[in-house]
Copies of this chain bind each other. A is one copy, B any other.
Amino acid sequence: MALYAKLIKGIFQDSVTLMLMSRDLSALPDVKRVAVMMGTPANRDVFRETGLWHEEFAAATPNDLCLVVDSETDDPTVAEVMAARVHERLSELARGRRRARYPVVRSWRRARQLLADANVALISVAGHYAFEPARLALQDGCHVMMFSDNVSLEQELELKTLARGRGLLVMGPDCGTTILNGAPLAFANRIPPGPVAVVGASGTGIQELTSQIARLGSGITHAIGLGGRDLSEEIGGISAAMALDLVSRDDASRIIAFVSKPPAPAVKARILDAMQAIGKPVVALFLGRRPARRDIGNVHLARTLDEAAALAVELAQVDARACALPNVEGRGICGLYTGGTLAAEASMLLAEALDLTQDATHAAGYMLRAGGHRIIDLGDDVYTRGQPHPMIDPTSRNEMIRGLAKDPAVGVLLLDVVLGYGAHPDPAGEVAREVSALRAARGAESPIVVIATLTGTAEDPQDRDSQAARLEEAGIVIAESVRAAAVLAARAVAAQMQSHAEPPALLRAPPAVVNIGLRGFAEDLHANGIRVVHLQWEPAAGGNERLRRLIEQLQ
């Protein structure tokens, strides 16, 4: 093996461009491998560790391009030949970029002249150099998304503290994915518009979650990345709190889905508090940690990405249904169940959603009796002694439904309708008649929301479809499962979501972006109709740290 090297001074290129170039050159005949990288300290380490170090590189600065050829030839001009190809390829790229219809500039000031209303800086330069442009952007009033990784924790904290003081958001560092009003920032998928806002400290987590939401036929308002360390004890979830606040004030974001690794305990408590204060349904996925309980008021804990997506989409459907329900005065939920298991499940889920304790004694069939809510199992011995099961004989439930005429504190009535052999021949008819009578007795000033589950199939003797139609004629909402019924009931008695005159500025319209680093990101934004200026970034003072600091002091 022989190594031939060439140092090309003063040409800065992004790492993706150089990687693709290295791969193409490595495929040429007569060479085993070609590597082209900028002469940063980290890259110089990589050359050493992979056995590709060459003495030429000792003089390299981060602004110099290091080319090394591993070849079995003994012709030392092979490095010159490769260098010529590198120049050729870079010229091609430059020509292609000049054709791009978005401006390419060399200074932040020029970028702002061309895009006066720029509000986001997308930074993907090597981590070692990412701090400066981020600070500059923040000081100039722009939100920052840092795709760059290898930014120190101290720098992250400094940037986020600076940003917070100015009401600006720092997404990242090491933030792979953000989508603002459909604008793809860095790694992002094209997701249909919809009611779910995604906030996350995981790039592929956001990508998979949003893709699953799309697969399930729903969509997103925005997806906001935080960077993988935002929920660490050191950073304290500064960006998470700000992102949650942003989407909470965006009325189009009806449901919030949050994904991250398990946060530091103190941070988790704060984040959960913030989620509960939002008053919108929140799905929270703390990756790799089994949630101790699934519902904490409006916060639903998921365990896997597909489960989180399914929950968010289900909650969006529930939200759409809840919005169509009348406002009820009574805030109590009353469940009258003929199926004991269905009553037990409704009780468990409502107890979680409303933070209540289930009734352990089950006296008089009460599965839940707390906070003005009650769930009763009418199959309990108290109700069946001397008469058939309420699935056969609806008398006892009918009486209790009628009794709600005099109980205006009940705003939601939960029921089960069980079909099949053995059951009443027309349970939906019984329920529909009693509910209509109840509504008439309560009058228009005391509306009641009635939600029923329908156990059975189209093949059952009662015919599920015609039973469903009978319920719907009576204005009874049919829930697809006891869980869906419980979630909708809890929503129906919850406080109304606050409404806002307009969304926060960052979410109001697609962003105007200054792209600093990988060219491809600017191209993707441009292709999506997003206004973008590419700032052709080079390390200050040619990457010389001491010189850079000196210049800074003089400025």
Contact = CB atoms under 8 A, between A and B. Distances in A.
Contact of A190 (B261, B339, B459): B459
Contact of A189 (B202, B211, B419): B419
Given A341-B287, A421-B187, A457-B190, A482 B304 contact: yes
A85 interface: no
Interface string A274-298: 0000000000000110101110000
A392 B340 CA distance: 55
Contacts of A421: 184, 186-189, 520-521, 524
A305 interface: yes
Given A184-B421, A306-B481, A42 B190 contact: no
A50 B387 CA distance: 12
Interface of A: 15-16, 19-20, 23, 37, 42-43, 45-47, 50, 176, 184, 186-192, 202-205, 207-208, 211-212, 214-215, 259, 261, 287-288, 290, 292-294, 303-307, 338-342, 344-345, 347-349, 358, 379, 385-388, 391-393, 395, 416, 418-423, 453, 455-457, 459-461, 480-484, 520-521, 524
Given A184-B420, A261-B344, 11 more contacts: A188-B420, A203-B339, A204-B342, A204-B379, A205-B339, A208-B482, A215-B457, A288-B344, A304-B345, A306-B483, A421-B520
A186 B422 contact: yes
Which of A37, A416, A420, A481 counts the most B-chain CB atoms under 10 A from its CB? A420
A375 B456 CA distance: 43
Grouping DSSP codes into helix (H, G, I), strand (E, B) and loop, the A interface class, with mixed when no group exceeds half, is: mixed
Copies of this chain held together in the complex: 2
Contact of A482 (B15, B294, B305, B483): B305
Contacts of A520: 421-422
A520 B461 CA distance: 13
B37 A422 contact: no
A41 to B, nearest CB: 11
B16 A392 contact: yes
A64 B456 CA distance: 37
Contacts of A188: 420-422
5 contacts: A15-B387, A187-B420, A190-B461, A191-B457, A421-B524
Nearest to A184: B421
A261 B37 CA distance: 63
Contact of A395 (B15, B23, B341): B23
Contacts of A287: 341, 344-345, 348
Contacts of A45: 385-386
